[in-house]
Amino acid sequence: MGPFDRFADARTIETGTTIDADVCIIGTGAAGITIARALANGPQKVVMLETGGLNYDAAVAALGDIDVIGRPYPGGASRLRYLGGSTNHWGGQCAPLDPIVFGPRPWMGDAEWPVDYADLEPYYRAAHKVIGLGEYEYEPAEVLKNTPFAVMDFTDGGPVRTSISRYHRQRFGLAYAADLNAAPNVFVYLYATVTSFYRGDTGDAATHVTVATLAGNSFTVRATRFVLATGGIENARLLLDSNGQQAAGFGNGSGLVGRYFMEHVAYANGVVVPKNFKPGFDVYFDEQRLDDPTGDDVRIRAHLTLSPEATRALEVPRFRAELRRYSELRLALKHVRDFNFGFGDVWDVMQEPGAIWDALVNGEPPPDVGAFILANYVEQIPNPASRITLSSTRNALGQHIAAMDWRLTRADEDGIKLAHRVIAHEIGRSDFGRFRYDMLEDEDAILDGAYGGFHHMGTTRMGTDPKASVVDTDCRMHEAPNVYIAGSSLYPSAGWPNPTLTLVALAARLADHLKEEVARDG
């Protein structure tokens, strides 16, 4: 990547230097770059601070190590600390949150959003263009029209629906570095790790942040407004570690910073052997290329989800069910064998058909075997005890690393079981094919087999009540009127889609708000 002549290497800045900005954006992932591009070529000076460089650097990556103190989790493996952030290796899967997710769902606890789908819909469309996803259309019949793919018959009527995800692996750093470099009002500093927020002697507003590099130098950035966009773990960690003036962490009078850490809870169990398989059903089993001239190599995949009416009637979290090919399952089984982390106790449930099971254990299944594993991705119920805190361990810059205490509950177990049973019942009722699953009743066994999707959400949640949330509807911190937060840490609840499309939509919405504020300032 590069070269980009206007990007600055923060390791060359003299210690004690102060840099002034109108807007300081901390982080250059999907959210940070979306906001910076929206502010590019405008009247305000925008300073972007990126902890890494243009490519992967092992020493920089180690700054983001995580101390896992709760249920097993693969630490910071999914987080990349260089221009573009985690979009440098994401899978590109996108879909908007369902309207039901934004409203009250008493069975989900503290899950209601302070905005609704109508508020975000125009920004979802904007996010589609940023990510390169083509037409903003998710109605299965419309998406699959004029394609060789078909909607499964049993999803017409009844509680189960087909939902669509679109895929485009937009590498934000590669795609948009030239835009940032060309904008005369945007200044990008690489290898610049923010170490703390500070207030002045009076008032709640932040006055500056301190910045350090692994070269040993440090400096200050002063700004009128700050945007924290470092990811669902680091957003919380940095606020908690900014505790020189407020022991609980910057803007954390409520004690909620870091709480409500959420994931999409994945669980695989059961074998499906279709009887009435149609070639058009391939879209349920693999990503399929979509001929969309408005996008860039857009792919789609179909999932099984519940209707809103069934979701309310059953009082179940939102989830998506995927039918996974056995090649995917073999990789999962390797995780179980080698890492004791993955698809849990699948060994006990894979009992039929025997020939397929033998092929899986002893070698690749024959090419004409049409059998699939059912994998559900279930929305985690918001839980304040599931949280990010500070570890006693420090990184090379002297920062406390994040301690992750990811917790699942009996309610999450119930959601996993119900999701599987509903899909199993509908497959059986429809005579779509043979389905075998052996759902365990022991809570520990089920939860031990569950794993996360590297979707870090909820740690600086949105809301209208400062006692129950960290930021307001404009993504502004309740306790710091000039500090905004961007990213999936804002989510009060997760829905079933992967988080990136929504976080880019929220970032586009925040950028509009910042432009309005700058215009009011004159």
Domain assignments of the chain as residue spans, ordered by start: 1-91+171-262+387-406+456-522, 134-167+264-379+409-449
Express each pLDDT in 94-107 by its tens digit.
999 999 999 999 99
State yes or no: pLDDT of 403 exceeds 90: yes
Among 203-217, 266-280, 413-427, the least confident range: 266-280
- Does 444 have pLDDT greater than 80? no
Where does residue 340 rank: exposed (0-12), middle (13-18), buried (19+ CB within 10 A)?
Answer: exposed
Q: Between 27 and 442, where is the model more confident?
A: 27
Nearest to 163 by CA among 413, 377, 412: 377
User: In this predicted structure, what is the pLDDT of residue 332?
Assistant: 47
Region 201-208 average pLDDT: 93
Residue 59 has pLDDT above 90, yes or no: yes
pLDDT tens column, 224-279: 999 999 999 999 999 999 999 999 999 999 999 999 999 999 888 777 877 767 77
Residue 517 confidence (pLDDT) above 80 = yes
Other beta carbons less than 10 A from residue 433's beta carbon? 17
In angstroms, the Cα distances linking 224 to 211, 218, 485 are 17, 20, 15
Q: Which residue has the higher pLDDT, 456 or 72?
A: 456
Dist. CA 452–CA 450, nearest whole Å: 7
**Average pLDDT value over all residues in the chain:** 88
Between vectors from CA 232 to CA 453 and to CA 249, what angle results, nearest 5°? 145
For a pLDDT cut of 70, what percent of the chain falls above it? 88
pLDDT for 339 beyond 60: no
- Confidence check: pLDDT of 110 > 80: yes
- pLDDT, average across residues 383-405: 98
Joined together, the tokens standing for residue 437 give: 């699953």
For residue 156, give the nearest of 141, 172, 146, 171 by alpha carbon. Answer: 141
pLDDT of residue 438: 66
DSSP structure string for 12-46: GSPTT-EEEEEEEEE--SHHHHHHHHHHTTSSS-E
Which one is predicted more confidently, 437 or 85?
85
Question: Residue 442: pLDDT band by 50, 70, 90 thresholds?
Answer: low
Give percent of the chain with pLDDT exceeding 90: 70
> Residues 350-390: pLDDT tens digits?
333 344 334 444 444 444 446 788 889 999 999 999 999 99
Whole-number pLDDT of residue 341: 35
Contact between 199 and 193 (Cβ < 8 Å): no
Q: How many residues does the chain have?
A: 522
DSSP 8-state symbol, 154: G
Q: Mapping DSSP to helix (H, G, I), strand (E, B) and coil, where does residue 333 land?
A: helix
The predicted-structure confidence for 181-204, as pLDDT tens digits, reads as follows 999 999 999 999 999 999 998 889
Give the pLDDT of residue 255: 98
CB atoms within 10 A of CB 158: 15
What are 458-512's pLDDT values in tens digits?
999 999 999 999 999 999 999 999 999 999 999 999 999 999 999 999 999 999 9
* pLDDT at position 371: 74
What value does the mean pLDDT take over residues 153-162? Answer: 77
- What does CATH list as the number for 1-91+171-262+387-406+456-522? 3.50.50.60
pLDDT tens per residue across span 342-355 = 333 333 333 333 44
pLDDT at 436: 73
pLDDT of residue 434: 73
Which residues are CB-neighbours of 248 under 8 A, at least 6 positions away? 240, 255, 257
pLDDT value at residue 269: 77
**Residue type for 163, please?**
S
Helix/strand/coil for 378: strand
Question: Beta partners for 238?
Answer: none
Q: How far, in Å, CA of 313 to CA of 262, rounded? A: 24
How far from each other are the two terminal CA atoms of the chain, in whole angstroms? 37
